[in-house]
Amino acid sequence: MTVCRLPSAAPPLRRVGSSDRRPSVDEIVAVERPDLPLYCLRPGMIADAARRFSAAFSGAVMYAVKCNPEPIVLRALAAGGIHRFDVASPGEIALLRRLLPEAELHYMHPVKSRSAIAEAYGRYGVRSFALDSLDELAKIDDQTGGADDLTLIVRLAVPKGRAVCDLSGKFGASPSEAVTLLRAVRARAVRLGVSFHVGSQCVEPEAYDAALALVGGVVAAAGVGVEVVDVGGGFPVDYPGSAVPPLDAFLDAIAAGQRHLPAGVELWAEPGRALVAAGGSLVVRVELRRDSALYLTDGAYGGLHDAGPPLAMCFPTRLIRPGDTISGRLAPFRLFGPTCDSADVMPGPFLLPDDVREGDWIEIGQMGAYGSSLRTAFNGFGEALVAEVRDD
C-alpha cells in the first residue's frame, strides 16, 4: 500500500516588498496593486506589545504560537523579549527550533500522540508538557523513557467566563480528577504545575480570580507542593462594538488571585491575541458592490474567519484608493468572500465610505491574531501575500 502525504491546507504566504525599508500600507498597495489578500505585519508594534505585557505581568510570559506562527511575528516577539513559547504540535515545535533554536518550548496541548511526545522530547529537547488525565501521564512516561527532568502541568477545567470562545468543554480535569492527577504527577515531575484557560477574548477580569481560587482549593485538597500556576491566555483586544476592560484590570485580578495560592508559586501566562492582534492588518480588494454588500478577495475561509459565522466579530476598516479622492461619509456594509459558499459572509456591519466601488482596496485592522493561521485553501483559494510595513 502506498501512503501519500496530502498538501498543507493553504500555501505559504508569498512575501512582497522589502524589510530593508518598510513602506506604508498605502505605498505598498499603490505599487503592488495586489489582486491577492495582503497581510501587512508591523514588527515594531508586536515587539512593543511584548515588552509592555512582560513588564506588566508578574510572572513568565510565553506566546501561544497558534495565534500567528508567521516567522516575521515570531522574530518580532523575540526582539520584544519573549523567549518562551506555547506550542501545540510537532509542526510548531519544528518551526520554533528552526527560527529560534534557543527558545524555551512548552508543549501545552493536553492530548498528544505518542509519536509527538517522543519526537518533542527526544529530537527537540522539549521538557515541559501539559496533561489532563492519567492516560496522558502514562503516555508521557512511556515515550520519554521514565525521564526524571520533566515539568508537568495539569490542565484544570474552570467555569467559562464571559468570553467569545469557550475553551472549557474540550480539555481540563474536573477538580476531583485534578486532585488525583496532581498526586500521581508529583512523583514524576521535577516541577509540577496547574494550568487553566478562561476562554478566548475573555472580557471578565474576575474570571481569573475565580479560577485561581479553584486552583488553590484543588492544590490544598491534593496536599502536594506545586511550583507553577499557568493562568493561560484569553486576554482580550478592543474590537469595534466590544466593551473590553483594560489589560491592567486583568493583571490586577490575577495579582489579587495569588492570595489563593501557596507562597512562592511561579506564575505563567500564555497570551496570543493581546500580543499580536494590533500588529497585523489584511488588505483585500473589492470585486463587486451590490447595494450594501461588498464582494472581496478574501473571506471567512481565509483571513476573515473570525468575522464569519459563528463569531461574526467586527474589525476596524478603512478604504484605500491610490491617486483618487474618497467620500468622507460612512455607511454600513456586509462583506462576502470569494468562494462559492453562501456561508462565506461577514455580516459586520463594517463602516466604509459610501462611495466604495469595484477596484478599491480595504484595509482591515486588528488582524494579527488568527487572521493568517486560520486561512484555508477551500474552493481553490488560499494564496496570499505578506509584507512588513511601517508601524503607523
Q: Are residues 90 and 115 in the same domain?
A: yes
φ, ψ of residue 215 to 5 degrees: the values are: -60, -45
Residue 25 in this model has a pLDDT that exceeds 60: yes
Tell me the pLDDT tens digit for each residue of 109-167.
Answer: 999 999 999 999 999 999 999 999 999 999 999 999 999 999 999 999 998 777 777 66
Residues 318, 197 share a domain: no
- pLDDT at position 2 is 61
Within 8 A by CB and 6+ apart from 8, the residues are none
Residues 51 and 144 in one domain: yes
Residue 307 has pLDDT above 90, yes or no: yes
Write down the pLDDT at residue 6: 55
Please indicate, yes or no, whether residues 190 and 309 belong to a single structural domain of this protein. Answer: no
Q: Which domain holds residue 240?
A: 43-276
Residues 69 and 21 occupy one common structural domain: no
Q: Is residue 125 assigned to a domain?
A: yes
Domain membership flag for residue 2: no
Strand-strand pairing, 228-230 and 38-41: unpaired
Instruction: Tell whether 339 is covered by a domain.
Output: yes
Which residue among 276, 296, 329 closes a domain?
Answer: 276
| DSSP summary character for residue 124 | T
- What is the CATH number for 251? 3.20.20.10
Domain CATH for 296: 2.40.37.10
Cβ neighbourhood burial of 292 (10 Å; 0-12, 13-18, 19+): middle
Phi, psi of 144 (to 5 degrees): -105, 5
Instruction: Count the helix, strand and coil residues of the chain and give each as a percent rounded to the nearest 5.
Output: 30, 25, 45
Residue 4 lies in a domain: no
pLDDT of amino acid 159 = 84
For residues 246 and 370, membership in a common domain is answered with no
pLDDT at position 167, please? 66
- Over residues 258-276, the mean pLDDT reads 96
Last residue of a domain, one of 243, 276, 309: 276
User: Does a structural domain hold residue 49?
Assistant: yes
Share of the chain above pLDDT 90, in %: 85
Are residues 287 and 224 located together in one domain of the fold? no
User: What is the count of structural domains for the chain?
Assistant: 2
pLDDT reported for residue 241: 81
DSSP letter for each residue of 282-313: EEEEEEEEETTEEEES--TTTTTGGGSTTT--
Tell whether 238 and 309 lie within a shared domain: no
Residue 43 has pLDDT above 90, yes or no: yes
Out of 217, 244, 276, a domain closes at 276
Same domain, 66 and 33: no
Same domain, 350 and 244: no
Rg (CA), the chain: 22
| C-alpha to C-alpha distance for 322 and 346, rounded to whole angstroms | 25
Residue 357 lies in a domain: yes
Residue 308 clears pLDDT 90, i.e. is over it: yes
Other beta carbons within 10 angstroms of residue 187's beta carbon come to: 8
* Predicted pLDDT at 116: 98
pLDDT digits (tens, 9 = 90+) for 221-251: 999 999 999 999 999 998 888 889 999 999 9
Residue 168 in any domain: the answer is yes
List of residues 6+ apart from 282 with CB closer than 8 A: 37, 38, 39, 40, 298, 303, 304, 363, 364, 367, 371
In this prediction, residue 392 carries a pLDDT of 72
Q: Please, which pLDDT band fits residue 189 given cuts at 50, 70 and 90?
A: very high
- Residue 6 covered by a domain: no
Together in a domain, 158 and 21: no
pLDDT tens digit sequence for 1-21: 666 555 667 888 888 876 678
pTM listed for this prediction: 0.94
Is the pLDDT at 271 greater than 90? The verdict is yes
As a whole number, the mean pLDDT across the chain is 94
Quick one: 29 and 89 in the same domain? Answer: no
